[in-house]
Structures are given as structure tokens and as C-alpha cells.
Chain A
């Protein structure tokens, strides 16, 4: 079936260039300019004030050296307490403002991403494999959000602390600054050394942990199958292997991290020694007081933590940058083209002429398809796996663009109609059943935003789903899907059919909507589908021949071609492929 005949190298969705990514960040920043400025001023202010602590302590030392009386301590100690309070309030406000700024930008980015992702032509998504889009919306959005939420405030505070402390050292004496900067080459080298190794190593570790997770889920989910086939040893062995790989990578990560800190320790020692030696020299030369040297040494000692923090976050920042580029790659894509003016299909007829389709040029999976669906007609599509049934269904629904030939809906070509109008006219219920996370009623209202509760109940009743829906713990308000109540395969498929009833398109295409439910469920679902399709032009990819018997017309597809077309009785009389099939199937019917 589909997903299979595609080209071996998938054209992945694009990744934005550094320039485009930066431009997007600027665009996201623009509406928040005022907020950004106030946030930065507050944080700079708070950090600057907190840096007064060291010189005030130095001043206290000088007072002691000068042999002053304890009364003289009141002013500097009062100042120390004042500095603490102002810095505290400033930090609180600054962190909150930076948080708001980051959240505003992240929210705008993810909304833009989802909007663009949902409007991408499905064909493009399928070319890239839906895994590409899924991984962007899960890991990349999460990565960017996490870094903005957790790392950005720390990074900003540490960076400000570093810059302003270095400034403070310069104010004490410019030679202290020079001494402190002696540690910088070591730090820069360390960061380059670390980031170059950390990003691939941590990525490998995350992947290894993902593999462990996957293997465990695979095994736990299939535990009855593992037991039935005596696979416990081989599965435990695979999990052991995956877990050991993850363990080794975790330890390599730790070795890298300790190497990183060891190098920073060296930088700390070099800088501290330089500051102290400079103090020794300057005090001897009477250029500065012992108090000033104390302040300089304490300044530098206080830099240890912010430097570690800031440098540790560099690899997070790089990963976030890579994720951001992958998100911007999608937000920059062109949406589906819409025609200039609105067209409305005049009736519910579908006509395909000389239709052809190839995933790989030169390898047609469908050829010479001529098809005419009259308004209100129900047609069953029969054929072996790989005959092209799903591809034909997708072409008629406008998901794929034909390689040759044309499709008209209500007399208008699909491309004239435009994707939005085409989808209003033709609904496709495909193989993938998905239950949207959230209240059941919200799921249904995706098909009709303003549907009343009565309409929802009506749609559920039509497909025979009202009984179980009402029996849910909170009725239609029950949270279903991921993280909520899990619906059975039959229920999920009935839900898909109820959405169809609500969306109420004149033409519906059903592909394998009854396939996964077991034979008892299949029969129930056939009844649901029957009700949902009533009054519509319908093409049903049939899995049980009973669906063909009840259809107005049966089309047999073989190897990409229509080989038979006619009503059930006509085809039986014709004595072809379908008749043979029916005989095998109904052998017991007594003739």
C-alpha cells in the first residue's frame, strides 16, 4: 500500500539558514521591544547593585586597618543590607520580565509553526515522512521552550554578572582586570573543546536512552506475544544491550563534564593567582590599599560560579539554535496555494479522466484510470494489496496531485477549486484513526466548530456511538486520546465517522475505516459507515465483499488499472475476476 513505493531518499523538510533564523528571532522580538529593554535595564541594574557588595566589604576592611571605631561601621553595613534588598527586588522583577519576554516569543513561534505545519500540502509532509514534522513539533519545540524557560534567565544573569564584575575590577584598578583576563584564553579554549564534543555525545546519549525507552515499550506492550513465542531471553538481551550502551554514553558524558570542570579549575587558579600577585605588587607600590586588593580577590572568587554556569549553558544554547533553525525551516515554507476567487462545486459528481500517478518518475502505480461517480452513488473499490486503492483514494481527495490526467469535482478541476474548497467538497477518512487529546466534544467540533450539543449527539447516534459515548464517565466532556480515556479501535473509528457526519461533505471517501476491529467489530462498523455515507457520493475501499454487495457499483483495481466495473450482479454474470473471488468467498452458500 502507500508509504512504500516512495523514493529511497526522502526530501526532508528544509532547515533555515543562520541568517533566516536570526531574522525570525528579530521579527519575534519586534513586538516585545519595550519589554526587552525594560527587562535588560532591570537585570543590569540589579546585577550592578549587587556588585557593590565587594567594594563595601573592602571599605570595611580598610576601616579596620585604619583603626577606626565600631561606630564607623554603621554606614557601610547599612549599605550592604540596602544593596541586598535592592538587588533582590531587582532580580525578582528582572527574572519575571525576561521570563515573560521568552514566553511571548516562544508562544508566537510555536503558534506560527503549528499554523504553517497544518497548512502544508499533505503530499509534502508525506514526502518527508511524517516523522520529520513530528520530531520538529515534539523535540524541537520542547528544546527551544526548555532553553528559553530554564537556561536563558540563568545565562543572562551569569553573563551580566561576568561583564559587570570585570567592569568592577577595572574600576578598582585596570591592572586587576588585565590579571583576571589571563584566565580567559583557557576558558575560551575549554568551551570550544567541550561544545565540540558535548553536542554529538549528548545527542548520542539521548538517542541511546530513547532506544532503551523504545525497546522497553516494545517489549512491555508485546509481553503476551513475547511469552507466546518464548522470546523473553532475546528481548531481555536486547534491553540489556541498549541499556548498557546508554550507560556507557552517560559515563562518557560525565568524563567529558569532569574534564570541562578540571580545565575551568585551572583557569580559576591562573586568574586568582594573577589577581593576588597584582595586588601584592600594587600594594607594595602603594598604588592600591589592602582593602581594594581584598575586593578584587573576592570579585574574582565570586566569578567562579557564574562562569561555570554561563559556559555550561553554551551547548544548550547551540542545541536550541539548531532546533530553532529546524522550526524556522517550516515556518518559512509557502502554504498551500489558494485560488484567487472562491469556487463552489455545483454538484456531488466526481470524474477522473486518464488519471496517472507515479511516486517515482517512470514507475506508474496508477494508469489509465477513467472513473465517473454520479451524485449520490456508492462505489466499492476492490483489489489486492498494492493494487493502488489507497493512492486512488488520495488522488480523488486531492491529497496527491496526479502525474497525468485530471479530476473534476462538481465540474471543476481540483486545482481550480483550491485545497480548502476541495476539502469542503470531499472528505477522506483514511487508515490512520486518531483520537484528539481533550474532551470528546472538542474532538467532534473539529469537524464543525459551532455544532450544538444536540448536533453532536445526533452525529454520534447516526453512527451508533451515542450509547457508549453517554456511558463515558463525563459523557461528551470525557477527556479522550493521549493521557485521557482510551477508546477502543471500533469506538475510534466510529468517532471518525461521526466527524464525517458533522462535516457533512457531499462526497466521502472511506479507506480501510473498518479494517482493524476484528470480525465482530467490522460488522458493527459497516453499519456505522452505511449510516454515515447515506445521501453522499461515496467511494469505499472494501475489505469485506459484503460491502461490495451493498454498493451501487463495484470497481476492481489490479496492478494500477481498473479491470472490471459494474454492479455486483453484472460482475457476477460477467464471470471475471470478481465473480471468481465471490465464488471462493461464498463457496458455502450452496451455489
Chain B
């Protein structure tokens, strides 16, 4: 058994322990409910035996009163059992969801490595729910066992041979229906997947509607969709056929079994071994017993699924952190002097860079891979293989991660906008200077075109904005954070040239006296910097003002000006 499964067990055990009170209470109540359900056919038999066959009115009234009591009991015990079980299930899922969220967002990271966001979300929703379902179904499993015991005792008291026949007969009957249904059901799983394709493809075509319209490809798409839809239809028809045979098998096998029970029961009754009422009760119990057995099969399946899900959750929770943490803190107000000395990391080679405190420096990089690696160093999501990145003389890799990121903020060009209002997105950076930040990034202009201004709620990943609008909001957020060192990566690639020129001035003005690094090849931005470093092949090959480099360096011209 792998260690993952082991820790999955630990997750499952922990969850059940947390909710043990509710699970235990629900189990007791559910058992009471099952006992009540089992008693109903028994009481029907008794009423026929003692009241209808004898014609005694007091007896009828008495037994119907008892039946009423049984109904009240089974109804209330079911009501509170289900409520407690469901609360346990929901609470388990909820707690796991929060534990997973905290793990994913841990400053040291690592959990989202090699896992797509959608996958993490599925683990925090689907898998958490399935672990919760174990807590929710377990009480009913306990109750099913109780029901089997109660009806077993009742049946054996009615008649030993008939009781044994039923108790020993039900499992093979269920096993047989399972066996009959299984190959069909297995086949139908694949069919169901194919059957679900039609809705997926339809949604995909609608999502690409503008592309189809732009090309005039609607007819082709409709023709193709018809093919997919018909394939799905055929698969779904095959799946329902399989289902039909399974349902039919259940009807036939349980019916034949019932005939056998009736035969033996009636034979015993004719011999005087059991009464008519006992015969009726036995037939009723034989039918009733099918349910607890089915419940046990179902609980078994849920537990198996829950165990697998707990394993996946445990794997995320146990992911090692991507970055070792440091312990040293920074001065409250870092000056913001940044020095890279002989740094080598990934595609960055032997890199020396000095950014004076309060300077505005451009870094033009020919290869986007190098830019990624350089930014990772500054964002403290990677440590150098050799050399050091120093902030005010302190080695960044020895600092507490949160402190380092508070001092040096790297705003990536594909930074994520959240599904909240424009204002909330910007305020997430910082509250103090958010209005000036919005003005500098021309978000005030963006807001004018939005239905509710800065109060407009953005769609997923900001997709309700154009690329340029998204970049401007993200830039405003970074500016609002007002860190000691701000590193901006390609903040304006999707912004039109008119606005870009305005933003370049805005950044320079707002960040005056604060250390700012612009990693970009945009001439409009680079023209505002004090100094530009040209990076080629992972190291700095030239430095100077934008004007100097543009005049003197052909490589620079080809990177920045064409």
C-alpha cells in the first residue's frame, strides 16, 4: 500500500472522528427507522391474523393504534437521522475544502504544481464531497445491518427453515442480479461518456460562435454537430438498453425468489407449522430484506469512492512546499536598493544588475524564457543556483517569504484578475493610493465604458474586459500596492499606443522616488526610464539610456523598435 493511501486513510479517519457524534446519533436513528419499516408488514400480518380473521373490533383498534405508533417512530427517526447524517457529510466536505484552500494558498506554494486549477477545484469540491458522503452514508449502513438482524430474528422466530431460506437466499439473489447487470453496466459506462459528448460539443460551438460567424463556418459546424449528436444518441440508446436489461433482471430474479418463499411458506402453513399471518409476514419480510442488502452494496461503493477521494485530498495536503522559507524579517521601510550579483538560475546566467533605491530601470530581454526565470527570482518563487539577489544588502533567499514579497512586488503580464468589481480588484493591492493608481493606469477611462463604472463585476479571469483593459486594471492594482520595489512585466502589450504613452508617463510620475523595474521591450515605457539594460542569452550585454541604446546599439533597435 502506498503512503498516499495511508494518508488518505488518515484524512478519512480524521473526518469521521470530527463528526463522530452526528454519525453515531444518525446511525441509532436510522436503525430505528429500519426497524419501523420492518415492523410494518409484520403488523399487517398481525392485523389480518388477530383482528380481521377473528372479527374482534377492540383488537383491530388496538393493533391499528400500534401501527400508528410505529409510523410515528419510523417517520421521526428517519427525519432526524437524515438531517444529522447530511450535516455531518456537509461539514466534512466544508472543512476539507478550507484545508485544501489554505494549503494551495500557502506562501511557500507547491500545491498547484503539475495540477491545473480545474483539477484542484475538482478535488476541493467533488472529492471533498465524496469523503463527506462516507460520513453521510455510514449511518444508513449501520441501520441496514440492524434491519438485517431484526428481520432475521423475526423470520427465524416465525419458522427456522423459512427464515434460513430467506436469509441465505437474499444475498445470492442480489449477487445474481448484480452479475446479470454487470457486463451491461460496464459497457454502459463508456456509452454514457459518449452520450454526454453532445452537450459538451454544443457548448463549445456556442463558446466559439464569434469565430464561426467571423469565418461564415456555421453550416459546417451545424453539419458536424449533427454527426456528434447522432453518435451520442446511438450511444445513449445502447446505454438505456443495458439499463433496461438490468432492471428487467432485477424484476425477474426477485420475483422468482418470492415465488419460492411463497411455496415453502404456504407448505409450512398447510402443515400447521406457521399461521396465515406469519406466512403473510414472511412474504413481506422477504421483499423488505432486499432493501437493506442493496443499501449495504451502496454504502460499500460510497466508502470505496470516498477512500479514493481521501487519497487525492491527502496528496494535495502533503505536497512538499515549492520554496524553502527564510526566517529573517526586513526593516519596516526598506529603502529599495536591489542588487543581483553573479546570479545563475535556469536560463539566467551570471547576471549582475544594480538598481539604486528610488531608481526607474528598464530591462529589455530578447528571450521570454529568460524573463520568466529572472522574474521568478525577484518574486521569490525561485532561488538562485549561485550568486545572490540582495535587497538593501540582505539576501532575498534568507528572508521570510511574505516579508520579501511585501517589499518586492512582481506584477506579471498575465496577472490574474478576480471575479469581483474593478474597484475591489484594485483595492486588493492597497487602499491608500488606489485612486492615483487608477488614474496612472488609465483605469478611470476603462471604468467610463463599463456599465457600473468601477463597481462593475468582472467575469471569470476578467474575460469581460478586452486584453488591454485587463492589463490596465492589473497595473493599477500593482501600483496601488505601493511596494518598496515594483517589478512590472510587459504591463501594456495589449494597450493601444495612444493610451500606452499616457500610462508610461503615469507610471514614472507615480513611482517617482520609489524603486521600479520595467521588464519590457516597449519603447514607450523604456523611454521613461533612467537606465535600460539589454539582456541577451541570459546576461546583460549593454546598458545605457533608451536614447543612447537606440542610437548606438543595433541589437537594441531590432528588439525594441521593430
Contacts and interface: CB of A to CB of B under 8 A. Distances in A.
Interface string B272-283: 000010011001
Contact of B213 (A98, A227, A251, A423): A423
Interface in A405-463: 420, 423-424, 427-434, 436-438, 442, 445-447, 449
A118 B229 contact: no
A280 B247 CA distance: 36
A3 B258 CA distance: 66
B82 to A, nearest CB: 5
Interface in B89-128: 90-91, 94, 97-98, 101-102, 104-107, 109, 111-112, 117-118, 120-121, 124-125
Contacts of B495: 385, 543
A147 B155 CA distance: 40
Most A CB contacts (10 A, CB to CB) among B251, B267, B283 go to B251
A519 B518 CA distance: 13
Interface string B451-484: 1000000001100101111000000010001000
B474 to A, nearest CB: 8
B247 A91 contact: yes
A63 B279 CA distance: 12
A225 to B, nearest CB: 4
Contact of B496 (A145, A222, A243, A383): A383
A266 B76 CA distance: 11
Contacts of B106: 232
A588 to B, nearest CB: 3
Contacts of B224: 442, 446
B493 A65 contact: no
A173 B151 CA distance: 32
Interface string A98-113: 1110111011001101
Number of chain B interface residues as a range? 35 or more
Given A215-B419, A229-B481, A290 B52 contact: yes
A69 B60 CA distance: 31
A300 B337 CA distance: 85
A167 interface: no
A213 B83 CA distance: 24
Nearest to A264: B75
B541 interface: no
Contacts of A200: none
Given A83-B255, A118-B221, A229-B428, A262 B523 contact: no
A358 B206 CA distance: 26
Given A6-B451, A92-B249, A397 B220 contact: no
A134 B209 CA distance: 10
A102 B445 CA distance: 53
Contacts of A240: 98
Nearest to B213: A122
A367 interface: no
Contacts of B215: 423, 427, 446-447, 499-500, 503
A172 interface: no
B381 interface: yes
Interface in A66-125: 67-70, 73, 76-78, 80-81, 83-85, 87-96, 98-100, 102-104, 106-107, 110-111, 113-115, 117-119, 122, 125
Interface stretch (A22-30, A190-198, A268-276, A466-474): A268-276
Contacts of B442: 385
Contact of B199 (A103, A142, A590): A142
A397 B523 CA distance: 33
Given A424-B216, A519-B522, A5 B64 contact: no
A50 B419 CA distance: 56
B105 to A, nearest CB: 4
Contacts of A543: 468, 493-497
A30 B495 CA distance: 56
A229 B424 CA distance: 13
A48 B498 CA distance: 79
Nearest to A58: B280
Nearest to B255: A84
Interface stretch (B10-18, B66-74, B341-349, B386-394): B66-74
Given A61-B276, A277-B60, A77 B262 contact: yes
A543 B560 CA distance: 15
B204 A437 contact: yes
A500 B216 CA distance: 11
Q: Point out which of B40, B233, B269, B429 has the most chain A C-beta atoms below 10 A from its C-beta.
A: B233
Contacts of B98: 236, 239-240, 243
Interface string A251-270: 10011011101100110110
Contacts of A219: 101, 104-105, 418
A54 to B, nearest CB: 10
Contact of B244 (A78, A91, A516, A590): A91
Contacts of A4: 449-451
A207 interface: no
Contact of A96 (B76, B240, B405): B240
B490 A50 contact: no
A221 interface: yes
A142 B197 CA distance: 11
A161 B78 CA distance: 25
Given A231-B428, A515-B467, A519-B493, A432 B419 contact: no
B410 to A, nearest CB: 6
Contacts of B90: 247, 250-251
Contacts of A445: 220
Interface in A108-159: 110-111, 113-115, 117-119, 122, 125, 130, 133-134, 137-138, 141-142, 145, 149, 153
A228 B249 contact: no
A258 B82 contact: yes
B527 interface: yes
Contacts of B250: 88
B315 interface: no
Contacts of B327: none
A122 B496 CA distance: 26
B154 interface: no
A269 B210 contact: no
B369 to A, nearest CB: 9
Given A92-B244, A254-B83, A294-B48, A436 B105 contact: no
A77 B202 contact: no
A85 B256 CA distance: 8
Interface stretch (B162-170, B298-306, B328-336, B547-555): B547-555
Contacts of A213: 121, 125
Contacts of A523: 562
A429 B214 contact: yes
A324 B562 CA distance: 55
B254 interface: yes
A65 B276 contact: yes
Given A80-B262, A111-B226, A118 B212 contact: yes
B468 A515 contact: yes
Interface string A374-397: 000000001111100110000001
A319 interface: no
B496 A382 contact: yes
Interface stretch (A341-349, A531-539, A568-576, A579-587): A579-587
Contact of A50 (B52, B120, B237, B251): B251
B244 A94 contact: yes
Nearest to B111: A223
A175 B100 CA distance: 62
A73 B263 contact: yes
Given A251-B90, A445-B220, 5 more contacts: A64-B279, A223-B111, A226-B105, A385-B469, A523-B562
26 contacts: A61-B276, A69-B270, A84-B259, A107-B229, A114-B229, A115-B226, A117-B206, A118-B212, A133-B209, A134-B203, A219-B418, A222-B415, A224-B379, A225-B418, A229-B429, A294-B280, A298-B283, A301-B44, A385-B442, A385-B446, A432-B211, A436-B208, A515-B493, A518-B414, A519-B490, A543-B468
Q: Sorted from nearest, which 4 A-B pairs have the closest CB atoms?
A: A84-B255, A99-B240, A88-B252, A92-B248
